[in-house]
Amino acid sequence: MKWTTRIALAGVASVAIAAPAQAQRVAEAVLTIDMAKQGPRIEPAIQGQFAEHLGRSVYEGIWVGENSPIPNTNGYRNDVLAALKALKVPVVRWPGGCFADEYDWKDGIGPRDKRPKRINTHWGWVTEDNSFGTHEFLNFAEMIGSEAYVAGNMGSMPPIEMARWMEYMTGSVPSTLVEQRKANGRDKPWKVKYFGIGNESWGCGGNMTGEQSAVLHRRYQTFVKSPPGVEPTIEVATGANGDDEKFTEALMRDATKEVQALSIHYYTLPTGNWTKKGQATGFPESEWASTLRNAMHMDDILTRHTAIMDKYDPKGRVALYPDEWGTWYDPDPGTNPGFLYQQNSLRDVHVAALTLNIFHRHTRRVKLAAIAQMVNVLQAMILTDKEKMLLTPTYHAFDLYKPFQGATPIEAKVDGPRYVLGSIDLPMVDSSVARGTDGKLYVSLVNLDPNRPVKVRTTLTGRATGRILTAPAMDTHNTFDKPDTLKPAPYSGKTEGGKLVFELPAKAVAVVAVE
């Protein structure tokens, strides 16, 4: 059977790729763009990342110490620094996560050989030697060109300590804390653009109700002050767990005036079952489909929580930050289950692309997001093994999406066939369109179907070139022996009847620039 649908795509250029290897039916879809309908700017911070003291995320992943045989700059891995600089990471959230709500910032300052050793009770019950602390993180953020998002401890620390941490980091007026920072090697105050008032207060941050969390947020944020004469730090309230609308309702009802931004956390599990989540590789097509369906649930979550926020904040002052999102699978066999190390495949490329497309549709509220996590944990950008490093498929997906940072989203609609497997029914093609800061029109195209190629017809004229990510198997991934198995390939189009046409292989993600 051949699927045929007409498509109208305004302002796109031509993309050409070799004919799909599958000698099977080619579906057809239509992408319609309404250039007159534009949304608020896609904030670069939507492509933010998360680095928690968890497993080998910080230690071995980012930080190896100055005496390591692994090439480093002041203790930071050179290969990881270079990769993250190239990715233009806009913001990094640290030190957690659940780790943040047991963290005492004073443990992570001063001479490293004198810092106290603690037990990381959340993640593996391993020793935390605090060799990576406030100075190491904020210097790291500066080195890769990122804004700092520091998560404060509302779960187990008094508010005065949160205030003192801010003064230590950002203070310029002479004080004991400022002098202490200078003595520890940092004369100039750091810029801390974002500060989290707690983390997951509904769970590991204190097991609170929304009402309890609202009361504590009002109390703690009162004491977190930005120094005069600098850009004020954006204070982020710990928000809901996925579908928990009651939590958002309580926070917005009871603390709207004190909330500048509200976090929300949502992870994509293949099975939806936290006891048996599913494997990162070697999975059946049923789990490919369920994972993509569950990833697309992010759109419904943002829609429903935005509606609640609109009720209490109709002018849209309060931003919504999905500052933990991504895939969560069962840990790789043979690894410490508390370290959350997992492989990363072509399926993760699709989760990343679909989620970023969703964020582009919600820019009125969504101003920041942070994928979990940066290195060696969950849906990581980078994996390391001693001196070896590889870029994951998700890294390459974010690299494709870099032109969307700061772009203006344009309304786009795809009409076409569906990808159906059992009870799962999804659109075959998803897309996001935006005008970049360079004036070019950028179009992302995602083919969710792992079996069928699709031809996307448009009404656009011009020239479109870009890159594509696809592979023969659903779980194609990179290994330390073969680190370039999955990486972007050039992608261009062709013109039929004077209009641009995209030929998109099965299970592919592409981003093109139209000129």
Structural tokens at position 16: 């050409």
Is the link from the previous residue into 97 a cis peptide, with omega within 30 of 0?
Answer: yes
Whole-number Å distance between alpha carbons of 283 and 344: 12
Whole-number Å distance between alpha carbons of 446 and 97: 30
- What is the chain's percent helix, strand, coil content, to nearest 5? 25, 30, 45
Which one-letter amino acid corresponds to residue 245?
A: E
Q: Which residues contact 501 (CB under 8 A, 6 or more apart)?
A: 14, 15, 455, 456, 457, 458, 493, 494, 495
Which one-letter amino acid corresponds to residue 329?
A: Y
- Residues labelled as active-site residues: 200, 324
Q: How far apart are the first and last CA of the chain?
A: 35
Strands 234-241 vs 261-268: parallel, antiparallel or unpaired: parallel
For the four alpha carbons of 378, 379, 382 and 384, in that order, the dihedral sign comes to positive
Rg over CA atoms, the chain: 23
Nearest by Cα to 253 from 313, 209, 315: 313
Q: DSSP for 194-239, please give it.
A: EEEE-S-TTTTTT---HHHHHHHHHHHHHH--PPTTSPPPEEEEEE
CB 38 within 8 A of CB 408: yes
Whole-number Å distance between alpha carbons of 329 and 319: 29
* Element containing residue 37 per DSSP (H, E): strand 27-38
For 116, 307, 405, the CA distances from 41, given in Å and listed in that order, are: 44, 20, 9
Which one-letter amino acid corresponds to residue 295?
A: A
Is the link from the previous residue into 373 a cis peptide, with omega within 30 of 0?
Answer: yes
Whole-number Å distance between alpha carbons of 303 and 317: 16
Structural tokens at position 50: 């998360």
